Amino acid sequence: MSATYPDLETYRRALFAPEDEVLAKVMPEAVAEGLPKISVNAEAGQALNFLARAVGAKKILEFGALAGYSGIWLARALPPGGKLVSLEVNPKHAEVTRANFKRAGVADRAEVRLGQALELLESAKADAPFDMAFIDADKENYPKYLDFALAHVRVGGIVCADNANGHGHAHEVLPADDPRRGLQVYNERVTSDPRLVSVCLPFGGWLAVSLKVRE
């Protein structure tokens, strides 16, 4: 082996989820601009890219853009003419994401739509069916986003959600008003709905990955 690594995790990440220069700068620069450090990590990004390629995704819907970190991993999986639609409620986040999509060379295929995700879904129907949906916005609405994804992702496509571990609290009885209850409902639904086969990839805050196997 030519390089040495301080530990196994560093080894795994260096080999399986290397970031290029653009990706490596997205979150540090966003944080310097005051955005929260809540993107997926590189391994989750690589998993999103892998999954999109595995299902031959041409159209992907993302809920929650932040600075475009996950969106870049997703958009890079798209063939020419492919399309990522990313829904984002925060104007500053949308602006930073658009700039990062340009910088990453995916602005021709990655679009940010500004507004409450639930209110943007009517317009997203015009782009359906999707090959993949990635849910990573407000946690209380995960079940509603799942309803949309189930209706508008094709059979053989993927529905994926970040933060399936509920910020480390998914296994607890949470207060009635805790938004992470939405995640718990989400996890229970994707693991029991006969239309889905699901697996949890425990990168970062955990990706719940579901394959839609029938209507």
- Binds 87, which of Mg ion, ligand SAH, none (CB < 5 to 8 A, cut-off by type)? ligand SAH
In the complex, least distance from residue 196 CB atom to ligand SAH, rounded to whole angstroms: 21
* Residue 40 vs 190, nearer CB to ligand SAH: 40
Give the number of other Cβ atoms within 10 Å of residue 154's Cβ.
Answer: 15
In the complex, least distance from residue 142 CB atom to Mg ion, rounded to whole angstroms: 11
CA–CA dist 159, 196 (Å, integer)? 9
Q: Give yes or no for residue 163 binding Mg ion (CB under 5 A).
A: yes
In the complex, least distance from residue 103 CB atom to ligand SAH, rounded to whole angstroms: 14
* Residue 69 vs 186, nearer CB to ligand SAH: 69
Give CA 176 to chain center in angstroms.
26
Q: Which amino acid is at 82?
A: G
CA–CA dist 34, 30 (Å, integer)? 6
In the complex, least distance from residue 64 CB atom to ligand SAH, rounded to whole angstroms: 3
Q: Give yes or no for residue 162 binding Mg ion (CB under 5 A).
A: yes
Nearest to 124 by CA among 59, 200, 171: 59
In the complex, least distance from residue 91 CB atom to ligand SAH, rounded to whole angstroms: 9
110: three-class secondary structure by DSSP = strand
Which residue from 65, 136, 181, 208 is in contact with Mg ion, where contact means CB under 5 A? 136
CA–CA dist 191, 33 (Å, integer)? 38
Q: Give yes or no for residue 62 binding Mg ion (CB under 5 A).
A: no
The site for ligand SAH (CB under 6 A) is made up of 38-40, 64-66, 69-70, 87-90, 93, 116-117, 136-138
CB 51 within 8 A of CB 133: no
Q: Give yes or no for residue 86 binding Mg ion (CB under 5 A).
A: no
CB 58 within 8 A of CB 83: yes
